[in-house]
Structure 1
């Protein structure tokens, strides 16, 4: 069953964040993930306006998503992001209709 990581990110240092953006895709690909959206245009339809950068990743399953997030490859990206952004990363199981 597919799994998704939804990241809501507040970028504080755009130049350093570019380093993170160059490292993260390597780890995502290695663990079978793909970007579904990567901070593109968005519009809040209901509730408080979303002001964070929103990224949605898809992985084959929860195990692969956890493997990505805890990998040494992504660890390098997280280190690069440390002083460039803060945010919330949520892992959720996908839905497959019966």
Structure 2
């Protein structure tokens, strides 16, 4: 199953450290087959509030995503971003191509009966 690293960057700002981070991040993703799916988009908020921007990187699986985040190469550049941008980062497992939300609803309904 694919996995996604998602970062909600609440206070995006551009400076030399952040530019260096952006220039170097792809090399840290390549060994783990990480690919940007969303990078710095200006979200169209439909419900609630969303200060800042979002970044989504896809990996082949959860293990690859965790290995990338923990890798020495990524940990070396991470402070270039975190010193300047407040945000939250998480890793989530995606769903397969045959995912049907009705099956999830049925499982949840059965658990509450």
* TM-score (norm. length: structure 1): 0.88
Larger Rg: 2
- Structure 1 unaligned blocks of 5 or more: none
Q: Which has the higher strand share?
A: 1
Higher deviation after alignment, 58-67 or 5-14: 5-14
**Which one has more relative contact order, counting CA pairs under 8 Å at least 6 apart?**
1
- Equivalent residues of 2:42, 2:53 under 8 A apart: no
Q: Which has the higher helix share?
A: 2
- Structure 2 unaligned blocks of 5 or more: 100-113
Deviations 1:13-48 (A, max 9, x none): 521211111121111122111000101232001122
Partner residue of 2:9?
A: 9
Q: What is the alpha-carbon distance in structure 2 between the residues aligned to residue 38 and residue 12 of structure 1?
A: 12
Deviations 1:42-84 (A, max 9, x none): 2001122x12220001000000000100001101221222322
Does the C-alpha gap of structure 1 residues 6 and 82 become closer, same or farther in structure 2, counting only changes over 3 Å? closer
User: RMSD in angstroms over aligned alpha carbons?
Assistant: 1.5
Alignment of 1:15-54 (within 5 A): 15=15, 16-48=17-49, 50-54=50-54
SS at match of 1:65: helix
* TM-score (norm. length: structure 2): 0.78
> Aligned pair count?
97
Alignment of 1:79-94 (within 5 A): 79-94=79-94
